[in-house]
Amino acid sequence: MEESIEAACASRQIAGVVLMAADKTGTMPHLAAISKIISRSNHMLNTVGDFHYTKSFGSRSLRTPEEPLTAETPMWMASFAKLLTTIAVLQCLEQKKLSLDTNVTLFLHELQDIKILTGFDENGEPILEQKASPITIRHLLTHTSGLSYDFFHPLLQRWRNSRGEKIASGPTIVKRFHYPIVYEPGTSWEYSSATDWAGRIVERVNDDQTLTEYMQAHILTPLGITDLTFQIDKRPDMKQKLAELSIRDATDDGRMKHTENDMIKVDTTDDMGGGGAFTSPASYMKVMQSLLANDEKLLSPETVDQMFEPQLNDAGQRALMEKLQDPAMNAIYGALPAQMRKDWTFAGLMNCEDVKDRRRAGAVTWIGLPNMNWVS
């Protein structure tokens, strides 16, 4: 495996990879065989048998390919941020500041009069209908609120264009994500900006702390994480070491080349809990390991268990499965067999059946746009 990845980096089929794995109990199957296979890698097999594996390949940037990519390299995490914000919301539930059935407009007055966009009339005017049910915290955590992303949904793209507004732009959550919903809350599923709004709720129920400040006290400090920020320009120590983006060069057999893509320039003044975090793989792994071990540093064992349980009703699951029949969307969402039954948890996408030679039923995964993936 390692030789294949090294060869792919050397030929610029990929720019770089950081692989990390850990087992919560030290009872990983075939551990002895695995430890022999990776004996020359950066790994640790401690005296009590816990398994940890870390290996980095390739370059931090193809602009300066001599700089190695490492597990400590800061990266734009994109939707990896959603897991962190979900933890923050669930902590607020444990603190009795919220409940899963809380009407979000108690804290998000911006969504008080939000309507459902169902289409456009013959004059090109948007058709907007009143929703019948409130949006709840549960809806936000499961992407069943009616919200979408304007860059995903054609009706929202047309709505933006009809107002002369740019898609996916603006420095604040309101500027970037305040648009109509596209279905009645609780009746479908659509990946969305819901987690960004959930992060704003965390701020407002905690005396208007920023999401960074809240996470610093309740997530980062308990785990010893010092390199996470939503405002990369305020952390020059991280910015100068940031992993840079690459794209495939169609004129060079699809080999990777450096790009100055603006995507990584998250020019926001708000802390975007759904996609604006920067941190290193090593630090993110501390969060994953804490959840896997269920060590109570972040959440109670009961809440962690709930976090990884299926949450969708029949309508939501049907909508999710329909979405994943699109090969492009299915590839983005983890490339699991399209017909395999799936569900959504508070943490991410669950496969409800075994994936032969890959993962068992009940595994949960999610992605970050710059080719990131976690599986638990």
So which residues are the catalytic ones? Answer: 79
Residue found by looking up tokens 């049907």 in the block: 318
A 10 A CB-CB count for 204 gives 15
Q: Side-chain half-sphere of 15: how many Cα atoms within 13 Å?
A: 23
206 near 141, Cβ under 8 Å? no
Q: Which two structure tokens, joined as six digits, stand for 245?
A: 């983006």
Q: Give me the torsion for CA of 203, 209, 210, 215, rounded to 10°.
A: -80
Q: Give me the torsion for CA of 60, 63, 64, 69, rounded to 10°.
A: 10
**Residue 273, CA distances (Å) to 31, 83, 316 in order:** 37, 9, 23
Pairing of strands 277-279, 75-78: antiparallel
A 10 A CB-CB count for 261 gives 12
Pairing of strands 126-129, 349-351: unpaired
Give residue 275's Cα distance to chain centre: 7
Residues 6+ apart with CB under 8 A from 181: 114, 115, 116, 117, 131, 135, 145, 146, 147, 148
- Nearest CA-CA partner of 277 in 76, 56, 10, 20: 76
- Nearest CA-CA partner of 71 in 339, 218, 285: 285
Give the Cα separation of 204 and 211 in Å (integer). Answer: 9
Give the Cα separation of 38 and 201 in Å (integer). Answer: 44
Q: Which two structure tokens, joined as six digits, stand for 320?
A: 């999710």
